[in-house]
Chains A and B, each alone.
Chain A
Amino acid sequence: MLFNSFHFLIFFPVVTALYFIIPHRWRWAWLLAASCYFYMAFIPVYILILFFTIAVDYVSGIAIESAAGRRRKLYLGCSLAANVGVLALFKYFNFLNANFAAAFHSMGWQYPVHDLSLLLPIGLSFHTFQSMSYTIEVYRGRHRAERHPGILALYVLFYPQLVAGPIERPQNLLDQFRTEHFFDYRRVADGLKLMAWGFFKKLVIADRLAAVVDRVYGDPSACDGIALLVGTFCFTYQIYCDFSGYSDIAIGAAQVMGFRLMNNFAQPYFSGSIPEFWRRWHISLSTWFRDYLYITMGGNRVSRLRWAVNIMVVFMVSGMWHGANWTFFVWGAIHGLCLMLTPLVGGAFGRLERFAGMDRFPWFGRCIRVAVTFMVVSFAWIFFRADTLVDAFYIVIEIARSLASIGADSLDVLRNSVSNLKLGAALPALAALPVLEVLQFMQRRGSVRQWIGEQPAWMRWSAYVALVCVIMFLGQFGEQQFIYFQF
């Protein structure tokens, strides 16, 4: 079930209303049933995969807690193997198979293994990682094993964050299912406002930009460099608004019922460096990789060379987490490389600032940093979005060529390219971007929702009515899937 569907419009109020009506001791069961229904709206039989991993994790968690020494590691290994195995089978088998087949064929050998015709279960990467964080935290002694199978199942299946995160930790989420939540007007209203903001980002901005992006990236060879640049810019905002919009809806929906999920985005495009970007983008995933892979590998408490290797491994794995395609691998590698080079580049930029006297105007330096980081991130998105590496490199080369040939007729060239892109449907989205960025900027200084809540009634109501009207009139209600669903 998609958040942006008529089905969810009925599902959410019914589930929420009954949640508050049902006695507290049965609420976990109600939420679990609702979450199963939510997931089964996609491919019903795939719920069995989740039941399998939940069962393995339930047994493993208790076994880890009861065991000692190497047995604890063994049980952890079983849990991780089950989760990673399911992920590998559904998500990476055909990709690896195709690469092996290509390698064998290039050497003139026969390759007997056929691809599997398996549809990728929705949200597989997300709930798998959430499952793994449970057993890892039990292993590390940071959380007790959950004895109630229903509560553990709900931890994995909790519908607001089931298919696209935020990827939660047991310390944050598990115990909340035992807490009795009451209807609180302010909390519920705030949750609904957050959901509305999420729908605005998804339906008004992301889904409108999607048409331009799909047109450009669907056939890059039919577009000139300017069109490719515009398409890439649109994708930069499409993916942000799509994913952060989903997160807002998820966090808001959970908040309405009294659950607090972790924040997943913190105005990432205002980052002044790639490390800062990764502290603000998909925070639940980046902290997962930091805590369970990077730090396990030694983090930065190793030699410089080993640190560089750690960084590259983490980011390449992170890239592959997003999809079984070499484009994601390269995307991750670009970010890893940028992260490695940041101390060098940052230092050089700082010296340049001092040399030019710009250190007297720190805001100017900050603007430059933010602009450069934005361009680097957008460049990397080319690889994220392109269907193949060939397409990605073609797009990069064409954009570079167009930028290099900026001349007297550039305005005409720009006009022609833009008119060929047929940006009509995307205009409301493009017009909304400055509004988005202003609000994001304000959000850095404090909660915008709280600020609006402190304004006079006429101003508050105008804002809320305007938001609802913009969503209803400018929103694209074609039930476009969220981008991160495919991961």
Chain B
Amino acid sequence: MRMSMGKDNSRQARPGVGMLLAKMVLVAVPAIAVYGFPLLVMTAGGEFVSYRQAAWLQRRIPTAVLYGPAYSDPQMQMKCVGVLNRHPGVVALGSSRVMQFRSAAFRPEARFYNAGGAVGRMSDLEVFLDRIPAGQEPRVILLGVDFWFLNGRWLKHTRTPTLEARVDDRLDRLELFKSSWRTVYRDSRAGKIPFGRAIGPHLSHIGLNAVVKGNGFRNDGSYCHGSVIRNAQDPRHEDYEFRDTLARIREGERRFERERSIRKKSVEDLDTFLARCQERGIHVVAFLPPLPHTIFQTLVESGDSYAYLWKQMATLEPVFRQHGYAVHDFMDLASLGAGDDEAIDGLHGSEKAYVRLLLRLIEKDPILAGMAADKSWLEKRLSAAMTPYAVFGDSEF
């Protein structure tokens, strides 16, 4: 294979292609070396494992597999894929504030799947439902209605993507690396990624969040709040004793935007969703997820600033009733008989609090009761819980 070097070139001692390539490699070596570290960490940490691959593993492998990517956020897509693959009988649907429901709290034949995180706003509900083919509907949807879903001011400013925008996203590994490699260095410098742990063997943990912090989605779609729970007890953590959540309320930001009235369009979206569920024979059990009593009380004391919160039930109950469903108010964690120690942060109750919540729902809803585990067994597990955070073990799914 002869390149057009010209007759003279080959005879003279002039640098050629080989020299050029060698010099280009040498010039690029420092840069390539710098890319090498984050590439190694991200590869070894499972960041390049797609949510589809993770969902497949979680379904096929009989042991617990925790999926917690640190540099991507595929939860919306992943939950939709999970529902499509598993044809669950009971689906928990909502934001991160339903992720605490575990399959261990339901009968095996219920085929429970936690699709928490699939929706980020009211308009996502119908999009989620549309993804489920006819004939594969769940029997029950356990729906968490977050207060900010009804807040027009939050919707105006939020950067939370819509389900429609994200649902068909695929993992673009090159794009992920390009957008994350600097963050890997920053996180490493901050001690967030111990190198040995990141690249060590961790077959049951995929993604650096799972590997390093023990945070991630379990096989049943519920969320394991590994480090989140540890942080709740750490005075250095930003939401220790809910100080960050209280700051949000003071500033009126990040889900605590001040609002007097409920957004009409959100209620219409909910109504449409419930009508579609009714048409498709899906039973919906809805609730207002709990806030720690301290937070709840602060909101009460804010007077008119959050007037829309106290209009929720009056607005939502007729909408649910119209379709033969019910919505239950558990906004105050204390109403479940739980203390603030059963909150993992200012917005989220713990798994233990949600077992209490489930027990209340079982009392009120016979259809759900038929899908959940035996009530007395749940109560026994609740009283046997060693910590305020967990009732079931990680391998129970």
Contact = CB atoms under 8 A, between A and B. Distances in A.
A369 interface: no
Contacts of A144: none
A185 B4 contact: no
A21 interface: yes
Given A183-B4, A183-B5, A468-B28, 11 more contacts: A20-B4, A24-B4, A181-B4, A182-B6, A183-B6, A183-B16, A185-B14, A185-B15, A189-B20, A189-B23, A468-B27
B165 interface: no
A396 to B, nearest CB: 30
B31 A469 contact: yes
A184 B20 CA distance: 10
A461 interface: yes
Given A468-B28, A469-B30, A472-B34, A185 B16 contact: yes
B379 to A, nearest CB: 52
A180 B20 contact: no
B31 A468 contact: yes
Contacts of A469: 30-31, 34
The 7 A-B pairs at the shortest CB distance, nearest first, are namely: A472-B31, A182-B6, A185-B15, A20-B3, A477-B178, A464-B27, A182-B4
A371 interface: no
A181 B23 CA distance: 22
B135 to A, nearest CB: 38
Contacts of B35: 472
A181 B174 CA distance: 35
B27 A183 contact: no
A469 B29 CA distance: 9
Given A6-B174, A182-B9, A464-B27, A21 B34 contact: no
B384 interface: no
A429 to B, nearest CB: 16
A184 B24 CA distance: 15
Nearest to A469: B31
A461 to B, nearest CB: 7
A84 interface: no
A348 B5 CA distance: 59
B19 interface: yes
A183 B3 contact: yes
Interface string B1-18: 111111001000011110
A6 B172 CA distance: 13
Interface residues of B, number: 25
Contacts of B182: 473
A97 to B, nearest CB: 32
Contacts of B174: 6
A155 B30 CA distance: 39
B368 to A, nearest CB: 46
A192 interface: yes
Interface in A50-96: none
Main secondary structure of the interface of B (DSSP, over half): helix
B20 A185 contact: yes
Interface string A444-487: 00000000000000000100110011001100011000000000
Nearest to A470: B31
Nearest to B182: A473
A465 B34 contact: no
Interface string B188-212: 0000000000000000000000000
A188 interface: yes
Contacts of B6: 182-183
A183 B30 contact: no
17 contacts: A20-B4, A180-B4, A182-B5, A182-B9, A183-B4, A183-B6, A184-B9, A185-B20, A192-B24, A461-B27, A464-B27, A468-B27, A468-B30, A468-B31, A472-B35, A473-B34, A478-B178
Nearest to A461: B27
A183 B4 CA distance: 7
Contacts of A472: 31, 34-35
A181 B15 CA distance: 17
B22 to A, nearest CB: 11
A194 B243 CA distance: 54
Nearest to A18: B3
Nearest to A466: B30
Contacts of A192: 24
Contacts of B9: 182-184
Contacts of A182: 4-6, 9
A224 B378 CA distance: 60
Contacts of A465: 27, 30
Contacts of A464: 27
Nearest to B14: A185
A206 B323 CA distance: 56
A468 B34 CA distance: 12
A29 to B, nearest CB: 15
Contacts of B23: 189
B1 A21 contact: yes
A185 B22 CA distance: 12
A185 B19 contact: yes
Contacts of A477: 178
A469 B33 CA distance: 11
A297 to B, nearest CB: 46
Nearest to B174: A6
Q: Give the interface centre of A6, A181, A183, A184 by most chain B CB atoms within 10 Å.
A: A183
Interface string A96-133: 00000000000000000000000000000000000000
B26 to A, nearest CB: 8
Contacts of A24: 4
Given A185-B15, A188-B20, A473 B31 contact: yes
Contact of A183 (B1, B17, B28, B31): B17
Contacts of A189: 20, 23
B382 to A, nearest CB: 48
Contacts of A181: 4
Contacts of A473: 31, 34, 182
A312 B34 CA distance: 53
A184 to B, nearest CB: 8
Interface in A6-40: 6, 20-21, 24
Contact of B3 (A21, A185, A461): A21
Contacts of B2: 21
Contacts of A21: 1-3
A188 B20 CA distance: 8
